[in-house]
Structure 1
Amino acid sequence: MKAGETTGGPDGPGPDDSGTGAGTGPHRGTGAAAGGRPVDPRMFDGTVAAVALLAGPEGRLLYTNSAFTRLFGARRLGLPAREAFPDSDGHRFLAVLESVRDTGRARQVVGERRPDPGEPGQARHFVYSCSAVTTDQGPGILVLAMDTTAETLTLQRYEALATALHAVLRRRPDGTWRLTWSSAGHPPPLVVPAVGDAGYLPGAADPPLCVASDFLRTTHAHVLGPGDTLLLYTDGLIETPSAPIDEGQRRLASEAVLCRRRSLPDLLRVLQGLSDHRDDTAMLAFRVDEAP
């Protein structure tokens, strides 16, 4: 969209829009409402958010506030976006700007990592929110940069944590097996008895590994009788983005009961089908021999 052109709403041209007329008529998008006054960039001077304002077909830089300068350094006004943001996230950031300019629809893009001037070697993370606005030079784009470093690093630390389950099985003189286990943030063991409903063994999981080296972990115990099946598994078997984890657990328990008479290899093949394969899945099954 060129400066000075008009564009209609989502259902076609507006009442005064022939598709070729000049002026600064309505645009689709949050910041470019019909009849809206041009954005006054001075309103962003004292904000803590980093703000930049661009206008024209090349997205020339009209304004940056002091917060933007502190985070990204000084940028010479008047430069087209391609030159004003040479260190942006490749062509993706520029493509988003063009999309907002052409459609009037707000977009977001995750920013690249960049060195923090105050902490050499420390990465910074940003999300850029780009919205169509009206400026005193015609249609423009308001770029709001949100620093998401703290949230991103927290998520990375969480993803780096390892969960584990340590289990020991010991045969007892009466033919039963004593299971002892300790969970570090891992899903609970599932027991499918020879008769009756399957159940997840009680006992709260301890924190994942590497959270605290001096943490005193809890040991739980359970006795497995003849014909009982023990299933250990990773969360990839029960977690899906579209359903809560307890729904995945119910589905697993129900299917395991239906397959309790199958051989262990067949049981694992059937249960593998419950995974949506978005995450790695591993299973380990153990069955106590039936009583003679």
Structure 2
Amino acid sequence: MNFTRWSARFPGTQRRAAARTEHAAAQAKRGEGSVPAARGAASSSPPPPDGPPADPTVRGTGTGGPLTAVPSLDELSAREVLGLLPTLVALVHGPEHRVAYVNDAYTAGFGARPTGAPAHLALPELGALGLLPLLDQVQRSGKPRTAKNRSAPGGGSSYTVTCTPVAFPKAGGEGATDPHHTGVLVHLADVTDHAEAAERLRASERRQREAAVTLQRSLLPQELEQPDDLRIAATYQPGGTEAAVGGDWYDVITLGAGRTALVIGDVMGRGVRAAAVMGQLRTAVRAYARLDLPPHEVLQLLDGLAAEIDASQIATCVYAVHDPNEGLLAYASAGHLPILVRDEDGTVRRAADPTGPPLGTGGWLHTSGTIALGPGSTAVLYTDGLVERRGEDIDEGVAALERALSGAQGTPAVICDRLMRALGIDADHDDDVAVMVLQQPARTGADAELFHNAALELLGGVEAAPRARAFAQGVLTSWRFPVDLCDLGVLAASELVANSLQHGTPPMRLRLRRTDRRLIVEVTDGDDHLPRRRRAEPADETGRGISIVATIASSWGTRRTPGGGKAVWCEFALPTT
């Protein structure tokens, strides 16, 4: 803007005002100009009885009252106007930004300031607010600039500062722009209350988000179970910045006999309702997992429960069971993304079996599939937030994850971090992400000596029992177990084999397995009737085998096997050294 329009008292303004008056008088004398003639005519005629004055440049004081001309802006004093402003105003001129003027509000805020001195000396507060470079920019460009929420030194007041270029009149008249005759009008609006309110709002939002994330994480396992045969790590990244919990979850459940259940799921939507449904589904999965059912039967139960909890909430889920004896990962999927497995040579395979619809839809029979998980292999379970992007096909995201997994090496925790970085997941990501990585270590050397398997097919009739006892005694002795542990293991194997021979059907098998933490004794047969522990009467000759096993073992259990049979197992914790 041109600062000379603000005041009739600056040098040269009176001369221009006098020139305009003389020019108007000359036009009136010659009869030129339609507006003066109209005004003259209006002044010689009586005013209208009603309504506003005919000329918009005059105003009436009442019907029939005198008419007064509106004062021109040039008649106002810029110094008086700026001095009345409650905001802080300073005027600097020239390339060194020498102080030309500060108003009373500026003086009250920062103290008296000498005129004529450079701004970096006379106005140190501008330097503290980082405004000196802004003054240079405004003077060079001739365009106004605004800096918002600049804090004063010491963390006191906050200001929004507007710097506007102005032109000072030249003594020699008009001409090219001269930096010595340009200046900057600095306007500082105190926004401390607004800044403090905004900071309080941000702090409140941070607290709400932290509370939401704490709630979400409290619904997730605080510490993952670590099976003997797997190494597992998981990570969860909340999406967005709003204080809304999500519905992603994961879990690791030890089933016994070396088998492990792994689950990951995603309740669609956000908020407390999604988190509540997620918490109920996670609890139900742990309960159903204790039944040691096949994966598709667990999802079938979850499907009915999800419909009962909230039919409007859709959830996807993958439930998988790792069996170290088979080297397989059996799984079932309810509308979830496929499991990825990276072999030791870097080849990535995708679980290809079709998935069923999401949980809660009902009317669908889920099926189980298997994928090999051999020594040195790594499997990844994940939610859609890891691979889904707006405007992109989700298959492209899964393919990108496959490429990232093919080159990812290290521990499961390291691989989790690398996959998150490779897929561009950071604190600003707009969707929740859950990732679980499990590895089947390739054991060699001394570590391999801690893991052994031995099995015996139980053929024949009653002679199978003493053969099983002799087999167990020889194997456990070769594994160099303490004598008392060998005796307990042989007794458990004898009782389980006797129970199978009496109540089961062929084929029958005794399997012994040791890990670095436990001894596992398991007997399988072709009958699907699960034994249960019961109290035998003193006169009963049978019915004590399962009770004896439950008493001497650390834990025991049963499950149905594919094909219609069953498995009965028990575990003994190895003594710590």
- Shorter-chain TM band: 0.5 to 0.7
Aligned position for 1:214: none
After superposition, the Cα gap between the structure-2 partners of 1:133 and 1:252, relative to the gap in structure 1 and judged at 3 Å, is farther
Identity of aligned residues (%): 21
CA distance in 1 between partners of 2:85 and 2:272 (Å): 44
Q: How does 1:69-108 map to 2 (within 5 A)?
A: 69-90=107-128, 92-108=130-146
What residue is the counterpart of 1:148 in the other structure?
A: 191
| 2:158 counterpart residue number | 125
Asked if 1 retains the 8 angstrom alpha-carbon contact of 2:383 and 2:433, the reply is yes
Q: Tell me the matched-pair count.
A: 214
CA RMSD in angstroms comes to: 4.9
User: Could you say which residue in structure 1 is the equivalent of 2:89?
Assistant: 51
1:152-174 Cα distance to aligned partner (Å, 9 max, x none): 3344441582422324358xxxx
Indicate which of 414, 429, 435 corresponds to 1:285: 435
Greater alpha carbon shift after TM alignment, 155-164 vs 183-192 = 183-192
Separation in structure 2 between the aligned mates of residue 75 and residue 189 of structure 1, nearest angstrom: 60
Greater helix share, structure number:
2
Query: Hey, what does 1:185 align to over in structure 2?
Result: 243
Residues in 2 aligned to 1:252 and 1:152: alpha-carbon distance in whole angstroms: 42
* 8 Å contact kept, 2:248–2:433: no
Question: CA shift at 1:187, angstroms?
Answer: 5.3
Shift of 1:86: 1.9
Aligned residue runs from structure 1 range 126-275, under 5 A: 126-136=159-169, 138-157=181-200, 158=202, 161-162=206-207, 163=210, 164=213, 165-169=216-220, 185-186=243-244, 188-190=246-248, 201-204=268-271, 219-221=276-278, 222-223=281-282, 224-227=317-320, 229=381, 231=383, 269-275=418-424
In the alignment, is the contact (CA less than 8 A) between 1:100 and 1:130 conserved in 2?
Answer: yes
Residue ranges of structure 2 left out of the alignment (5+ in a row) = 8-77, 171-180, 222-237, 251-264, 283-316, 321-335, 337-380, 407-411, 439-560, 563-577
Asked if structure 2 preserves the Cα contact closer than 8 Å seen for 1:231 and 1:285, the reply is yes
Structure 1: how far apart are the matches of 2:218 and 2:382? 11
Tell which deviates more after alignment, 154-163 or 40-49: 154-163
1:68-114 CA-partner distances (Å, limit 9, x unpaired): 23332332333321222123335942222223223323233463433
CA distance in 2, matches of 1:190, 1:274: 18
Structure 1 residues 169, 90: CA separation in 2 closer, same or farther (over 3 Å shift)? closer
CA change 1:189–1:54 in 2 (3 A) is same
Alpha-carbon spacing, 1:251–1:145, altered in 2? closer, same or farther (3 Å): farther
Unaligned runs of 5+ in 1: 1-30, 116-121, 171-181, 193-197, 207-217, 239-246
**What is the rounded CA distance, in whole Å, between the counterparts of 1:191 and 1:251 in structure 2?**
24
Asked whether the equivalents of residues 113 and 124 of structure 1 are also in contact (C-alpha less than 8 Å), the reply is yes
Task: Report SS of the residue matched to 1:128.
Answer: strand
Paired residue type of 2:103: N
- Contact 1:55–1:139 (CA<8 Å) still a contact in 2? yes
Asked if the contact 2:245–2:271 (Cα under 8 Å) also holds between the matched residues in 1, the reply is no
- Please say if residues 266 and 383 of structure 2, whose CA atoms lie closer than 8 Å, have aligned partners that are also in contact: no
Q: Aligned in 2, Cα 1:127/1:169: closer, same or farther, shift over 3 Å?
A: closer
Change in Cα spacing, 1:154 to 1:104, as seen in structure 2 (3 Å) is same
What TM-score, normalized to structure 1? 0.52
Residue matched to 1:114: 153
Contact 1:190 1:199 (C-alpha < 8 Å) held by counterparts = yes
Partners of 2:395 and 2:267 in 1: how far apart?
A: 12
- Give the 3 Å change call, closer, same or farther, for CA 168–191 of structure 1 in structure 2: closer
* 1:141 shift after superposition: 0.6
